[in-house]
């Protein structure tokens, strides 16, 4: 049996191995080492949740702590990518995109197109997302659909340690700007991860469970909840097929459409708010391209159209869970 | 300017600082039990800053705060019991349990919110100050921000705008020596945050943030200047925090014994007490009585916060829009 | 230029000069209450560099500078390296004093002690009254060449650094006699029980019971004022005394003023841009060596404009004028002597007019 490590360790290992392999890979972000200029230890944190811990001493001069100036350092990572480096910049919480979005969507995303195909911007922006930490409205959002909307960006949403490592290595080697979404609740999730370097290609969804009755497309942390629901539904005789797109841009439309052609029923599970979301995007895709196959209205299981609340009871209600998925699947399965 | 504080004001300032300290020490203790959810950033050690500034403000003045916002809230008159309930995620909280520690706000008290976004408050305070200026009501806006936020574009842009529009705004840079783990010696390109004021055409001054009187005097001049239409000021308060960036931070980036030394030698409450009792105008017994009252009040707020109900499920979907 | 000058000066040891540029000077509340100037670290670094040309040309071997986190010393060191690598340097050897910076006044004091112990023949101080005061306190016999960084000072010279550099070099190389180059200053000593401190210009007793934001800008808070000298064209508290009875830096007496509600009204520039009325009801000449008791019941004492000491009921601080204050470089008389003695010109150049 292969070695098991956590999602967080998988990300750290991917960074470590790529930094060892390729001297042009650098890591930067707020407190990615921690302690710069302070009287105590360096590498005091290794990132706010310790994801980059240890890289500072292992790769001298290539892990840069930054001032709290997202516009400046995310922009600098993009500029460095234009000039031969492969920076992996950390936008601590994706909610902070608000203070640096111009650099991402007006600069990085558009260089290649605006400059007539002459620019390459191989930058990776790693960022934490998702509710579950009682971190409230400004530290808990799921904003991958905003980035998916922007042409020129690639958007990666790994749901398990294996994919996290393989997709991050792929992101670093990719020559376009990649926004890499890490769900903070998944950091402690364990899974089998090979020690050697491997990549997981973009735009290839994973079929995590095969079934003929209902297709569930789920993203990130929701994949696990969908599996939990599918397990329970199996006992009621409802056989679900679970698809994890793994990247929202590019999106593996084919795998989703093929599955719906087979099942005729679709539930999309997305932790984000429902409007203009991956859920509505995938539902729209299926309506446009597999309308004839549909035997039931499509169900979306998402957070409600509200910001993430603080109080634990409200946050638990906010995030989709297995029970909500089960109910949605049952409704779709029973629709006649 | 009233640089000579009367007895009543001195006692008020002491009570304010003591309330902040007791509140934070209590949250620190309770957080360790695992009962308080989420991220909590404590203000203990910096009390003289919020107090020295807010003693000059009335309910109609606005402040914008930071993720380390409990002290600013208390100094601006937000009810500590409501804050405690908020931190515990209860429906009786200042924000009905929807905001939490990082987003406590009470607009009825001129408290525009703690803020989860570093540097988020600068532009907002330009806005409240603009409204005050257009109305001509002589109120002011104070933006508290940290050494970390001093490097954010939002803060620099806000200081520029404040001068351009000659706004009644005061920018209070609470330089506590660490942006999370990172020292301003590394992250701030000049010696002092106050040095940047010159570039924006406003006065920039430095005060000792452990000395209530130093903050009080500088803030008094700045607030007076703003009220009289003199424009914005930057005050850099050199201070430190007694706890980590957030509760649970191991603080390995700090020097051995650093906090204990500050507590022993510079603590604002200790200095204040020594100062006001030296001439016998205020007795130690009076201050002890305040300590006891504050302690009882905080105890009570915790008891109530623990017992209060959590928000009902219907609360999840309310308050997103005024109408929709 | 240096070919004109003989190298026959005292060369038993390296000729060492210390330079202390206080990075913190010029950031107090006077930026807010008065239009006091802001002096940038970059300009302080420029001033230090303007000293170095004359130092190198006139035979100073080594310059010790105080390290700081604002980059003054680092900028100077970097320029020195660039200079050397281009082969055009006539600058002396630059070294940063090895010490731990705290960012407080003790940095200037530690640096001054280390410089003295290393054999520095003079220190050039860039700062305000306060910086000069704290240095004089710890190295009272080491000559200071004074340079004001800001508009709010009385004690230090407000002068181009190059010229101060020439005069300093002429002094430390012994080309001009110390009886000409140095001036002995007066100082005011404050005693409060065991505690003692000095002021170089004025001691102001305020009714404010706390040191607070340190500066004194509200005339209503002033209770008593003691001055070592009072120049009518000065800025700050001593100008109040000057408008009643001017005193030069050389005459062996001081002045003691007590404020009241009735008495003589004096209009004075107590801070940059601030002309205020102060009411004086008592004025007397201070004799050296006499201890003058402070009459205010409680308050705080500002030394050279900054509140430093709080005193309480029952405590009676005393102020004494002392004539043996720190020696400072007299740039005008040094350069006048240099001209008179022909130090900076060849004999034939001086013959031209005859």
C27: nearest CB among B192, B211, B233: B192
pLDDT(C3) > 50: no
- Selected for mutation to probe chain C from B218, B231, B233, B276 (highest C CB count within 10 Å) is B218
Rounded distance, CA C79 to CA C63, Å?
Answer: 14
pLDDT above 70 covers what percent of chain B? 99
* CA-based nearest distance B222→chain C, Å: 7
What's the pLDDT at C12? 62
pLDDT(C118) > 90: yes
Residues A38 and A174 in one domain: yes
What's the pLDDT at C61? 94
Q: Among residues A169, A192, A215, which one ends one of the domains?
A: A192
- The pLDDT confidence band at residue C354, using thresholds 50, 70 and 90, is low
* Domain ranges within chain C, ordered by starting residue: 2-185+326-351, 187-322
Candidates C110, C131, C328, C298; CA nearest to C207 is C298
What's the pLDDT at C185? 97
pLDDT(B1) > 80: no
C223 phi/psi in degrees, rounded to 5: -110, -45
Residues A181 and A227 in one domain: no
Q: Chain C interface residues facing chain B, Cβ-Cβ under 8 Å?
A: 23-24, 27-29, 31-33, 38, 40-41, 68-71, 207-214, 218, 221, 298, 310, 312-313
- Selected for mutation to probe chain B from A29, A30, A33, A40 (highest B CB count within 10 Å) is A40
pLDDT in tens, C287-327: 999 999 999 999 999 999 999 999 999 999 999 999 999 99
Q: How far apart are the first and last CA of chain A?
A: 45
Residues A153 and A248 in one domain: no
Rounded distance, CA A155 to CA A178, Å?
Answer: 6
Name the DSSP class of B200: G
Q: Decide if C70 and B185 are in contact by the 8 Å CB cutoff.
A: no
Higher pLDDT, residue A43 or C102: A43
Q: Decide if B194 and C27 are in contact by the 8 Å CB cutoff.
A: yes
- Residue A200 domain flag: no
pLDDT(C353) > 80: no
pLDDT(B3) > 70: no
DSSP helix/strand/coil, A13 = helix
Residues A178 and A306 in one domain: no
CA angle B102, B107, B108 (to 5 degrees): 135
Q: How would CATH label the architecture of C2-185+326-351?
A: 3-Layer(aba) Sandwich (3.40)
- Residue A294 domain flag: yes
pLDDT(A328) > 80: yes
Q: What is the CATH number of the domain that holds A126?
A: 3.40.50.970
Residues A14 and A105 in one domain: yes
What's the pLDDT at C345? 86
* CA-based nearest distance B64→chain A, Å: 16
Q: Decide if C27 and B278 are in contact by the 8 Å CB cutoff.
A: no
- The pLDDT confidence band at residue C102, using thresholds 50, 70 and 90, is confident
Residues of C in contact with B235 (CB under 8 A): 32
pLDDT in tens, B130-146: 999 989 999 999 999 99
pLDDT(A280) > 50: yes
- The pLDDT confidence band at residue B187, using thresholds 50, 70 and 90, is very high
Q: Which residues contact B132 (CB under 8 A, 6 or more apart)?
A: B62, B138, B139, B140, B141, B168
Rounded distance, CA B74 to CA B93, Å?
Answer: 14
The answer for B 34-93 residues in CB contact with A (under 8 A) is: 37-39, 86, 89-91, 93
- Selected for mutation to probe chain B from A138, A311, A312, A323 (highest B CB count within 10 Å) is A311
Minimum mean pLDDT range among A54-68, A106-120, C171-185: A106-120
Average pLDDT estimate for C222-239: 95
Encoded tokens for C72: 């003054």
Which one of B315-324, C266-275, C290-299 scores highest in mean pLDDT?
C290-299
Higher pLDDT, residue A247 or C100: A247
- Residue A199 domain flag: no
* Domain ranges within chain B, ordered by starting residue: 7-317
Q: Decide if C29 and B217 are in contact by the 8 Å CB cutoff.
A: yes
Q: Among residues A140, A164, A192, which one ends one of the domains?
A: A192
Residue of B nearest to A48 (CA): B180
- The pLDDT confidence band at residue C150, using thresholds 50, 70 and 90, is confident
Rounded distance, CA B298 to CA B294, Å?
Answer: 6
Residue entry with tokens 């050494």: B147
What's the pLDDT at A288? 98
pLDDT(B176) > 90: yes
* CA-based nearest distance B45→chain C, Å: 18
B117: nearest CB among A36, A72, A96: A96
What's the pLDDT at C103? 76
Q: Decide if B182 and A67 are in contact by the 8 Å CB cutoff.
A: yes
Residues A131 and A185 in one domain: yes
pLDDT in tens, B247-283: 999 999 999 999 999 999 999 999 999 999 998 889 9
What's the pLDDT at B302? 98
Contacting subunits of B (3+ beta carbon pairs below 8 A): A, C
pLDDT in tens, B296-314: 999 999 999 999 999 999 9
pLDDT in tens, B81-118: 999 999 999 999 999 999 999 999 999 999 999 999 99
Q: What is the CATH number of the domain that holds A227?
A: 3.40.50.920
Residue entry with tokens 């008891």: B303
Q: Among residues A160, A192, A224, which one ends one of the domains?
A: A192
What's the pLDDT at C83? 81
Q: What is the mean pLDDT of chain B?
A: 95
Residues A115 and A225 in one domain: no
Residues of A with a known catalytic role = 139
Residues A273 and A158 in one domain: no
Residues of B in contact with C33 (CB under 8 A): 221
Buried b (16+ CB within 10 A) or exposed e, B54-70: bbbbeeebbbbbbbbbb
The answer for B 157-186 residues in CB contact with A (under 8 A) is: 177-186
Encoded tokens for B139: 């109120």
- Residue A239 domain flag: yes
Residue entry with tokens 């007066």: C186
pLDDT in tens, B190-231: 889 999 998 998 999 999 999 999 999 999 999 999 999 999
Residues A226 and A154 in one domain: no
Residues A172 and A237 in one domain: no
What is the side-by-side order of every strand in the sheet holding C291-293? C195-199, C187-192, C318-322, C291-293
Residue of C nearest to B238 (CA): C103
Contacting subunits of C (3+ beta carbon pairs below 8 A): B
Q: What is the ipTM of this complex?
A: 0.82
Residue entry with tokens 């003054």: C72
- Residue A327 domain flag: yes
Candidates B76, B75, B83; CA nearest to B60 is B76
Residue of B nearest to A307 (CA): B320
SS (H, E, C) chain C: CHHHCCCCCCCCCCCEEEEEECCCCCCCCHHHHCCCCCCCHHHHHHHHHHHHHHHHHCCCCEEEECCCCCCHHHHHHHHHHHHHHCCCCCCCEEEECCCCCCCCHHHHHHHHHHHHHCCCCEEEEEECHHHHHHHHHHCCCCCEEEEECCCCCCCCCCCCHHHHHHHHHHHHCCCCCHHHHEEECCEEEEEECCEEEEECCEEEEECCCCCCCCECCCHHHEEEEEECCECCCCCCCHHHHHCCCCECCCCCCEEEEEEEEEEEEEEEEEECCEEEEEEEEEEEEECECCEEECCCCCEEEEECCEEEEEECCCCCCEEEEECCCCEEECHHHHHHHHHHHCCCCCHHHHHCCC
Residues A164 and A17 in one domain: yes
- The pLDDT confidence band at residue C9, using thresholds 50, 70 and 90, is low
Residues of A in contact with B311 (CB under 8 A): 309, 311, 313-314
CATH fold for domain B7-317: Rossmann fold (3.40.50)
What's the pLDDT at C4? 45
Whether a cis peptide bond, with omega within 30° of 0, leads into B152 is no
- The pLDDT confidence band at residue C261, using thresholds 50, 70 and 90, is confident
What's the pLDDT at B245? 97
A136: nearest CB among B103, B148, B188: B103
- The pLDDT confidence band at residue C272, using thresholds 50, 70 and 90, is confident
Rounded distance, CA C193 to CA C294, Å?
Answer: 13
* A120: containing domain: 4-192
Residues A60 and A96 in one domain: yes
Average pLDDT estimate for C85-97: 85
* CA-based nearest distance A274→chain B, Å: 13
Minimum mean pLDDT range among A163-177, C83-97, C137-151, C223-237: C83-97
When divided into structural domains, chain A yields a total of 2
DSSP characters for A185-243? GGGG-EEE--SS-----TT--EEEE--SSEEEEE-THHHHHHHHHHHHHHHTT--EEEE
Average pLDDT estimate for A238-251: 98
CATH H superfamily, domain C187-322: Probable inorganic polyphosphate/atp-NAD kinase; domain 2 (2.60.200.30)
HSE toward the beta carbon, residue A4, CA cutoff 13 A: 5
- Whether pTM > 0.80 for this model: the answer is yes
Higher pLDDT, residue C74 or A324: A324
């Amino acid at each position: 049996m292969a070695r098991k490590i956590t999602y967080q360790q998988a990300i750290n290992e991917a960074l470590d191995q790529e930094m060892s392999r390729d001297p042009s890979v650098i890591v930067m972000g707020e407190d990615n080492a921690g302690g710069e200029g302070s009287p105590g230890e360096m590498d005091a944190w290794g990132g706010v949740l310790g994801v980059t811990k240890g890289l500072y001493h292992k790769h001298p001069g290539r892990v840069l702590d930054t001032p709290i100036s997202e516009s400046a350092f995310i922009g600098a990572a993009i500029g460095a990518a234009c000039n031969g480096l492969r920076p992996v910049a950390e936008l601590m919480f994706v909610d902070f995109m608000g203070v640096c979005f111009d650099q991402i969507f007006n600069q990085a995303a558009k260089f290649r197109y605006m400059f007539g195909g002459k620019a390459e911007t191989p930058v990776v922006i790693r960022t934490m997302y998702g509710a579950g930490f009682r971190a409230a409205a400004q530290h808990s959002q799921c904003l991958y659909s905003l980035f998916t909307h922007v042409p020129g960006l690639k958007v990666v949403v790994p749901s398990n340690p294996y994919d996290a490592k393989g997709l991050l290595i792929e992101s670093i080697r990719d020559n376009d700007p990649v926004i890499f979404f890490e769900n903070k609740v998944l950091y402690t999730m364990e899974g089998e991860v090979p020690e050697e370097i491997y990549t997981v290609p973009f735009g290839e969804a994973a079929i995590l469970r095969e079934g003929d009755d209902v297709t569930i497309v789920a993203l990130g942390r929701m994949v696990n909840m969908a599996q939990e629901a599918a397990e329970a539904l199996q006992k009621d005789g409802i056989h679900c097929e679970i698809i994890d797109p793994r990247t929202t841009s590019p999106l593996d439309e084919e795998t989703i459409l093929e599955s719906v052609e087979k099942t005729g029923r679709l539930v999309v599970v997305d932790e984000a708010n429902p409007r203009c979301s991956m859920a509505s995007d995938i539902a729209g895709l299926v309506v446009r391209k597999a309308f004839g196959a549909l035997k039931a209205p499509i169900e979306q299981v998402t957070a409600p159209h509200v910001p993430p609340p603080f109080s634990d009871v409200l946050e638990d209600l906010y995030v989709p869970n297995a029970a909500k998925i089960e109910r949605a699947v049952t409704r779709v399965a029973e629709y006649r | 300017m009233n640089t000579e504080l009367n007895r009543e004001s001195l006692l008020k300032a002491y009570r304010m600082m003591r309330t902040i300290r007791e509140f934070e020490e209590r949250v620190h203790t309770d957080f360790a039990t695992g009962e308080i959810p989420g991220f909590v950033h404590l203000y203990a050690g910096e009390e003289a800053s919020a107090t020295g500034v807010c003693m000059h403000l009335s309910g109609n003045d606005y402040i914008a705060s930071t993720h380390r916002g409990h002290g600013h809230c208390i100094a601006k008159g937000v009810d500590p019991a409501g804050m405690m309930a908020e931190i515990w995620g209860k429906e009786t909280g200042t924000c009905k349990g929807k905001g939490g520690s990082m987003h406590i706000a009470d607009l009825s008290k001129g408290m525009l919110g703690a803020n989860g976004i570093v540097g988020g408050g600068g532009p907002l305070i330009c806005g409240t100050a603009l409204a005050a200026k257009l109305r001509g009501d002589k109120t002011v806006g104070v933006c508290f921000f940290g050494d970390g936020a001093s490097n954010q574009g939002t803060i620099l842009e806000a200081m520029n705008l404040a001068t351009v529009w000659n706004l009644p705004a005061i920018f209070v840079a609470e330089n506590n020596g660490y942006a999370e783990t990172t020292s301003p010696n590394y992250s701030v390109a000049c010696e002092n945050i106050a040095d940047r004021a010159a570039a924006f055409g406003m006065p920039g001054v430095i005060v000792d943030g452990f000395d209530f009187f130093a903050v009080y005097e500088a803030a008094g001049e700045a607030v007076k200047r703003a009220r009289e239409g003199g424009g914005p000021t930057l005050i850099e308060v050199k201070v430190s925090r007694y706890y980590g960036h957030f509760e649970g931070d191991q603080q390995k980036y700090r020097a051995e014994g650093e906090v204990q030394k500050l507590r022993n030698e510079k603590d604002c409450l200790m200095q204040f007490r020594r100062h006001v009792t030296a001439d016998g105008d205020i007795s130690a017994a009076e201050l002890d009585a305040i300590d006891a009252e504050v302690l009882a009040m905080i105890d009570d707020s915790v008891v109530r916060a623990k017992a209060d109900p959590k928000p009902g499920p219907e609360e999840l979907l309310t308050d997103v829009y005024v109408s929709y | 230029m240096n070919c004109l000058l003989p190298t026959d000066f005292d060369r038993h040891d390296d000729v060492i000069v210390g330079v202390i540029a206080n990075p913190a000077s010029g950031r107090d509340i006077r930026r807010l209450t008065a239009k006091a100037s802001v002096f940038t670290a970059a300009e302080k670094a420029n001033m230090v560099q303007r000293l170095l040309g004359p130092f190198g040309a006139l035979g100073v071997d080594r310059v010790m500078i105080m390290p700081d986190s604002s980059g003054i010393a680092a900028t100077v060191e970097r320029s020195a390296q660039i200079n050397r690598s281009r082969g055009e340097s006539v600058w002396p050897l630059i070294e940063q004093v090895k010490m731990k910076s705290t960012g407080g006044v003790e940095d200037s004091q530690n640096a001054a002690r280390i410089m003295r112990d290393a054999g520095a023949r003079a220190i050039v101080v860039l700062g305000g009254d306060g910086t000069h005061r704290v240095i004089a306190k710890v190295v009272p016999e080491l000559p200071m060449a004074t340079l004001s960084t800001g508009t709010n000072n009385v004690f230090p010279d407000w002068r181009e650094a190059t010229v101060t550099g020439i005069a300093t070099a002429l002094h430390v190389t012994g080309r001009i006699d110390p009886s000409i180059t140095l001036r002995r200053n007066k100082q005011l000593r404050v005693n409060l029980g065991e505690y003692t401190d000095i002021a170089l210009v004025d001691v102001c007793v305020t009714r404010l019971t706390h040191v607070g934001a340190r500066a004194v800008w509200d005339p209503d808070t002033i209770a008593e004022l003691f001055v070592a000298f009072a120049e009518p064209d000065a800025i700050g508290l001593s100008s109040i005394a000057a408008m009643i009875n001017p005193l030069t830096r050389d005459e062996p007496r001081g002045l003691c003023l007590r404020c009241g509600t009735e008495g003589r009204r004096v209009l004075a520039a107590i801070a940059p841009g601030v002309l205020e009325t102060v009411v004086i009801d008592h004025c007397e000449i201070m004799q050296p060596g006499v201890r003058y008791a402070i009459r205010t019941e409680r308050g705080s004492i500002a030394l050279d404009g900054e509140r430093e000491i709080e005193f309480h009921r029952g405590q009676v601080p005393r102020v004494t004028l002392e004539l043996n204050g720190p020696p400072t470089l007299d740039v005008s008389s040094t350069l006048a002597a240099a001209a008179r003695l022909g130090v900076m010109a060849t004999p034939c150049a001086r013959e031209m007019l005859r």
